[in-house]
Amino acid sequence: MIKIYDYILSVNCYKQRLMMSILDVPFESIPIDFYPGWEHKSEEFKKINPLGHIPVIDDDGFMLRDAHAILIYLASKYDPTGLWYPTNNPELIGETAQWMLFAEGTTNTASAARLHVNLGYEFDIEACRAGAHRLFRVLEEHLWFREQENLGWVCSGEQPTIADIAIFPDVILSEEGGVARIDYPALRRWTDRVKRIPGFVPMPGIFPVGDARPISHEGEANA
């Protein structure tokens, strides 16, 4: 079984828990006392990850660190549909990589602001917030135009990809870091859609959402 060096309030660990839950992959969580114990910075933990951060997974002896790398690994290995990491489609895989890099940006701004406010990290909080808003504006426009084309996800396919899983937690917890989402209605609608993916699990600070529109069986669109 996959072991994950895990912390319940970590955005990056949640990305893996969410992906494994959606892919229905059983895992064992090894809790790390991230705050206030700083266990991930301990000499002992640096033997597991010399960079001193979580998550790290141990899949039957295969060790991997870095949240977005782990998402690529999990989807490649455990998604038989090949939709979450669409390697057989050059355009889509390019987009996925592009938005995974975008997710590095949201992690380093929106989620950094949250680490500063909630978990004792020292960052330039105003720079983090301004950076998050810059990225959210780009994502808002992008997702609004996706909706205009009757598409719902970050990449241009009809199914969500690991890019959605990589960006979603940074966005949905942004208010904890003082980054309001009131100016991003398309972004808020997209978070509803992610929450409706079968297998979705919440974490503290993320709440379930109302149902999706039931599919009409009477031949007529349930508009």
Partner 1 sequence: MTESLMNLWHPIASAEDLPYRHIFQGQLLGRELAVWRADDDFVNVWENRCLHRGTRLSIGRSDGLELRCQYHGWRYANRSAGCTYIPAHPADAPARTICNRTFPSVERYGLIWSGEEPTGEPPEIAALENAETLLLRNIAVNAPLNLVLGHLANYRFSITGDPDNLATTSMDYQDGCSLSLTATCDGKKSTVVFFVQPVDSNRSVIRGVLSNSPEGAERLLTLRHHSAELSRLRDIVELEALDGPSLEPMVATIEQVPIALPEITTPSGRKAALRVQVLRKWATAEGVVGLELESIGEPLPTHQPGAHIDVHLPNGLVRQYSLTNAPGEGSLYRLGVKLEADSRGGSACLHETVKEGDVLAISEPRNNFPLRRDAVKTILIAGGIGVTPLLSMAQTLRNNKLDYELHYFAQTDGHLAFPEVLHELGEAVVLHLGLSPDETSQALTALLAGPQPAMHIYVCGPGPMLEATRRIASEADWPDEAIHFEYFKNTIEVDSSSSFEVSLARSALTLEVPSGKTILEVLRDNGIALMSSCEQGACGTCEVTVIEGEPEHQDVYLNDSEKLAGQRIMTCVSRAKSPRLVLDI
210 binding partner 1? (CB under 8 A) = yes
To partner 1, the closest distance from the beta carbon of 20 in angstroms equals: 25
- Quick one: 149 or 218, whose CB is closer to partner 1? 149
CB-nearer residue toward partner 1: 79 or 95: 95
Binding mask 147-186 for partner 1 (x = CB under 8 A): xxx-------------------------------xxxxx-
Which residues ranging from 50 to 109 are in contact with partner 1 (CB under 8 A)? none
Task: Return the HEC string of the chain.
Answer: CEEEEECCCCHHHHHHHHHHHHCCCCEEEEECCCCCCCHHHCHHHHCCCCCCCCCEEEECCEEEECHHHHHHHHHHHHCCCCCCCCCCCHHHHHHHHHHHHHHHHHHHHHHHHHHHHHCCCCCCHHHHHHHHHHHHHHHHHHHHHHHHCCCCCCCCCCCCCHHHHHHHHHHHCHHHHCCCCCCCHHHHHHHHHHHCCCCCCCCCCCCCCCCCCCCCCCCCCCC
Q: In sequence order, which residues have a C-beta less than 8 Å from that of residue 149 and are 6 or more positions away?
A: none
Q: Buried b / exposed e across 52-65, counting CB within 10 Å, b at 16+? A: ebbbbbbbeeeebb
The β-bridge relationship of strands 27-31 and 2-6 is: parallel
**C-beta of 144: minimal distance to partner 1 in Å?**
5
* 120 binds partner 1, rule: CB under 8 A: no
Q: How far is the CB of 214 from partner 1 (least distance, A)?
A: 9
In the complex, minimum distance from the CB of residue 29 to partner 1, in angstroms, rounded to a whole number = 25
Nearer to partner 1, 90 or 198 (CB): 198
Comparison of 24 and 183: residue with beta carbon closer to partner 1: 183
189 lines the binding site for partner 1 (CB under 8 A): yes
Q: Does 207 bind partner 1 (CB under 8 A)?
A: yes
Among 36, 43, 150, 213, the residue binding partner 1 under the rule CB under 8 A is 213
| Of the residues 35, 78, 144, 200, which one makes contact with partner 1 according to CB under 8 A | 144
Closest contact distance (angstroms) between CB of 185 and partner 1 is 5
Can you give the binding site for partner 1, defined by CB under 8 A? 141, 144-145, 147-149, 181-185, 188-189, 192, 207-213
